[in-house]
Structure 1
Amino acid sequence: MVVSMMQTLVVPILGIIQNDLHAGTASVSWVTTATLLSAAVFTPLLGRFGDQHGKKATLVGVLLVMVAGSVLAATTTSLTWLIVGRVMQGAATAIFPLALSVLREEIDPVKLPGAMALVSGTLAFGSGLALVGAGLLTRGADPDYHRVFWLAVALAVVALAGVWFAVPASRTATGGRTDWLGAATLGALLVLLLLPVSQGHEWGWTSGRTLGSFAGAAVMAAVWVVTESRVKEPMVDMKMFTHRPVLFTNLAGLLLGFAMFAQFIGVSYLVQMPEDIAGYGFGASVLRASVVYLLPTTLVSLVGSQFGGVLVGRLGARVTLAAGACFGVVGFTWLTVAHETSASVIGAGMVIGLAISFGYAAMPALIVASVPAHQSGIANGINSISRSVGSAVASAVITTLLASKTIRLPHGMPALPQESQFTIGFAIAGAAFALVVAVSLVGIKSAHAPRTPVLRKAAESRTPAVLDQQSR
């Protein structure tokens, strides 16, 4: 929950930060970009570090960094130091793959799909909770954004205490050297890829900085592949990375991340449009947009993840992912053709929330079933990054789409997007879910019984004594 909160916590308060710190739009956008880039760099590195040196110790270290970053963000009045704090908060994204590795090591194989689904479901819930919390804490005539970061401090401290007292120490650790060169080249690749995606609207999509960053990402990708193929103990086993189930699950993660964030940002903007001026929208405040229109989606995701875990156990992760994506197609089709009433927007969002919960329940199970136990952290870390990349792309696509066609308004009034741009954005997100269906049914092939892959791979990480007990 804390992981996803760090991604969306600042979205409702960017305007307040900009006014209080007297910053420009381009400068304040780094408050979100810094976290995205930090997550891209640290998640695979710390996921692998947890595999090698113990999950609990790594979790505690990550949470300590996050607490420090949250305190810095809550106390500073400097944009520079606020961005530094957000970089430290970005490391929290590594908590998710580390948590899944802990589950694989500690939970009985029969209960593993449901446990992973529950943890995955809190990702969607955390996003909604962050929006509601930020809206409530900045109400009134004199809003103070520092309160929002103190909320992050409190939740991070609770999470740290929970890990310290309740999570057992890792029984297995592969040891070995940390592949710093592989981590550096992968980090450079992800930064060069995500930086122009997140800043392209501000820089210009055909500017030298944007095109140069994409070219640099292509070069760094080649450097990273060569580096990992020659290192004795690579951070990412390239065979694992290109293994068909893992590859297509990561592709599904990218598409799911795109669709989820497209719904979040699209609905958020749509419902805040002033109907008396734009001719559509509901004139909602940030708080009302979060509580009335977005929170139901996250609540359905949290509850639906439990059913997703049951389906993973009974039908298999591949079928569950495909079924969830079908719900996503239905939800976005509904949102595309009927977003004139609050009931339609909320109802479609709840269907999409169910789709997201099934996807979150299925993808960790697919990853766990496809890699050995000592690669769980890095494999789930890469999958987390694929979703982050999808979210960044969605933000860039929707923002650019909404700015491309605007309504002519009297001089001095801010430009508002045409309603057709929202329709196109929702249709694109629905197409992303349709591709997830294809990826699930065609790309991810399974020749085993539904429950066998997850249980077999999970069982490999159990101790002989536990296996013997389960056998008896």
Structure 2
Amino acid sequence: MALITRRPHYNVTFTVLVVAVGAYSLLQSMIAPVLPTIQSHLHSSESATTWLMTGYLLAASVATPILGRIGDLVGKEKMLVVTLIGLTAGSALAGVSHSIGLMIVARIVQGTGGAMLPLSFGIVRDEFPAAKVRGAVGVIAALTAVGGGLGLVLAGPIVSHMDYHWLFWFPMIATAAAAVGAFVFVPESPVRGTGGLSWLGGLLLSAWLITLLLAVSNGSSWGWGSTGVIGLFVATAVLIPLWILAELRSPHPLIDMKMMRIPAVWTANLVGLLFGVVMYTCMTFLPQLLQTPHAAAGYGFSADVTKSGLYLLPMTVTMFAGGVLAGRLSGRFGSKPVLFVGSALSVPPFVLLAIAHDRSWQIEVAVALIGLGVGLAFSSMSALVVEAVSPDQTGVASGMNANIRTIGGAIGAGVGASLLASGVSPAHPLPADAGYTHVFWLLSGSAVLAAMAAMIVPNAARIASARGQLQPAVPEQLPTDWEREVEREIAD
């Protein structure tokens, strides 16, 4: 699809990917702190406004693995351009929306941009020298976390000095530029998957993702024991085995179950689930704690949206530093040790917050450590998945890892909301301080479990031990250093 006839330098491709992923990451989080503002301007109910996040989450979960697989089949750069065009269109629609219904539709369209991450990982693996892949994957993975933190920082100033519609206009400009850059500069994929696409598998995957995420997203508001939530969980329990059976019987499965059973893949996905709980729950409730009026609640920092974002700025900085550092450390020590260190580093700050969260320095020290741990863990986790699968499966494998992190975040947010709601009553409309303590202990435990899961990730020499996973990165190209290493391991 690219207009050029000669493959550009990989740094040109990398620049396009950084702009694209950065803009998408901002859209993930920038709207969260200003939902009350949007609700007021659009004269909407709280339940309807919540769908601005829920609809986005559901669309991203469904589109990410499906579009990632299509990219593996027809060309990653083609699907990257399509995804960027859809993301730009969704942002433009949100920018002109003056009703809650139209904005929800716009957010659903934006959610399809979730496929950008697995497509970007696949393009990096196709285009970069083997020695540079880990570092590039680390930076792009870190951008997903950094963009989330930066969105929380930027949302306040944008809304205060402009209009909330600019939360969509700014990312739209970036995604439009990235779409043009991808069309012009990103070369055709040299590696393609074979076969077709299991539409039944895609339908069943979409169905159980929707029922599961609806259940965990609405558990705190509907009640975990309500008929609706229990019914959704039962439907999920029925649909998952049907999906697995359909994929096992399909000649061209959407998700190759053999791939999902690769030790490095399923262990990285387990860490991803737990780390999704840690990161997304933290980004959901920490701003809420900071914005709680101290005079009314007896705790909190009475911060506005802008000030609460500034409290979280150290997390954004250390996330990016951790992501960049992860590539270098993984190249020297392997991705597994870096994943473990990132997970372990995330435990002390949440313990600190669980014990005490009433001083500014406690928040600032905690968020700086959280950012470093998340940056190291997210980057090394993504690198592990990319290293573990064949080039033609990079998109779908990375997409499922991203999906599993999203599921973890939804579960964490649902449980956290229930912990906070337990102390709310008409006489005391704000959550009790003990509720936040329980949330931070929940995140401490999740980080401990993530570190334990990181310990069972296979060592580097075993990550790609199955011979069927080996395919040249470019047809008729000499084997890469990665492939030679795996060939030697198999021979031994």
The TM-score by the shorter chain falls in which range?
over 0.9
Q: CA deviation at 1:163?
A: 1.8
Q: Distance in 2 between matches of 1:253 and 1:306?
A: 19
Q: 1:156 to 1:108 in 2, by over 3 A?
A: same
Among 432, 435, 442, which residue is 1:421 paired with? Answer: 435
The C-alpha deviation readout for 1:75-127, integer Å capped at 9, x for no partner, is 12122211111111001111001000001111111111111111111112211
Answer whether contact 1:186 1:221 (CA < 8 A) is retained: yes
What SS does the corresponding residue of 2:133 show, helix, strand or coil?
helix
Measured after TM superposition, the shift of residue 335 of structure 1 is 1.9
- What TM-score do the two structures reach when normalised by structure 2? 0.89
Distance 2:213 2:160 in 1: 33
Kindly state the Cα deviation for residue 199 of structure 1 after the two structures are TM-superposed. 1.6
Distance of 1:93 and 1:378 partners within structure 2? 12
1:368–1:457 Cα contact (<8 Å) kept: no
Going from structure 1 to structure 2, the CA distance change for 1:253 and 1:361 (only over 3 Å counts) comes to same
Give the C-alpha shift of residue 400 in structure 1: 1.4
The equivalent of 1:178 in structure 2 is: 197
Q: Which moved more, 1:213-222 or 1:272-281?
A: 272-281
| 2:460 corresponds to 1:444 | no
Deviation at 1:194, TM superposition (A): 0.3
- Residue 311 of structure 2 aligns with an amino acid whose one-letter code is Y
**2:233 is matched with which residue: 203, 214, 232?**
214
CA distance in 1, matches of 2:26, 2:279: 15
Partners of 1:74 and 1:218 lie apart in 2 by 38
Partner of 1:94: 115
Which residue does 2:180 correspond to in 1?
Answer: 161
Aligned counterpart, 2:104: 83
CA contact (8 A) 2:334 2:460 kept: no
Q: CA deviation at 1:36?
A: 0.4
Question: 1:462: how far off?
Answer: 4.3
Q: Indicate whether 1:404 and 2:436 are aligned.
A: no
How big is the shift at 1:240? 0.9
- Asked whether 1:300 is paired with 2:310, we answer no
The CA deviation string for residues 118-164 of structure 1, in whole angstroms up to 9 with x for no partner, is 11111122112222332112116xx7322211122112112213322
Q: For residue 261 of structure 2, what is the aligned residue in structure 1? A: 242
Q: Are residue 16 (structure 1) and residue 34 (structure 2) matched?
A: no
Is residue 335–residue 383 contact of structure 2 (8 Å, CA) maintained in 1? yes
> Could you report, residue by residue, the CA deviation over 1:307-359 in whole angstroms, capped at 9, with x for unpaired residues?
11111111111111101111001221222223221111011111010110111
Which structure 2 residues correspond to residues 127-206 of structure 1 after superposition, within 5 A?
127-139=148-160, 144-206=163-225
Residue 383 (str. 1) matches residue 401 (str. 2): yes
SS at match of 2:160: coil
Counterpart in 2 of 1:366? 384
Distance 2:106 2:239 in 1: 27
Are 1:318 and 2:336 matched, yes or no? yes
Residue-by-residue CA offset, 1:56-93 (whole Å, 9 max, x unaligned): 00000011111111111111212221111111100111
**2:388 match: secondary structure:** coil
Q: Does the aligned pair in 1 maintain the 2:354–2:440 contact within 8 Å?
A: yes
1:344-403 per-residue CA deviation (whole Å, 9 max, x = no partner) reads 101111101011011111112211222111111100000000111111112112211111
Decide which moves more: 280-289 or 158-167: 158-167
Q: Identity across aligned pairs (percent)? A: 34
Q: Distance in 2 between matches of 1:129 and 1:440?
A: 27
Aligned-residue Cα RMSD (Å) equals 2.2
Shift of 1:283: 0.7
> Partners of 1:322 and 1:267 in 2: how far apart?
24
Kindly tell me: are residues 457 and 218 of structure 1, through their superposed partners in 2, closer, same or farther at Cα, counting changes over 3 Å? closer
Q: Distance in 1 between matches of 2:181 and 2:481?
A: 29
CA separation of 1:440 and 1:123: change in aligned 2, threshold 3 A: same
Match of 1:329 in 2: 347
1:273 corresponding residue in structure 2:
292
CA distance in 2, matches of 1:340, 1:97: 40
Alignment of 1:461 with 2:479, yes or no, is no
- Partner amino acid for 2:400? I
- Displaced runs of 4+ in structure 1, greater than 3 A? 406-409, 456-460, 462-471
1:66 aligns with 2:87: yes
Shift of 1:447: 6.5
**What's the offset of the Cα at 1:459?**
8.3
Q: Deviations over 1:397-444 (max 9, x none)?
A: 2211111114885xxxx6111111111111111111111111111x31
Alignment CA distance shift 1:161-1:133 (3 Å):
farther
Aligned pairs for 1:114-133 (under 5 A) are 114-133=135-154
Deviation for aligned residue 1:17? 1.8
Contact map agreement 1:317 1:366 (CA 8 A) in 2: yes
Residue identity matched to 1:261: Y
Amino acid in structure 1 at the alignment position of 2:473: S
Provide the rounded CA distance (Å) in 2 between the counterparts of 1:99 and 1:158: 16
Partner of 1:433: 447
- Residue 210 of structure 1, CA deviation: 0.8
Structure 2 residue runs of 5 or longer lacking an equivalent are 1-21, 485-492
Distance 1:145 1:227, change over 3 A: same
AA of the residue aligned to 1:346: E
Size of the aligned set, in residue pairs, is: 460
2:55 matched to which residue of 1?
34
TM-score, scaled to structure 1: 0.93
- Contact kept in structure 1, 2:198 and 2:254, CA below 8 Å: yes
CA contact (8 A) 1:250 1:386 kept: yes
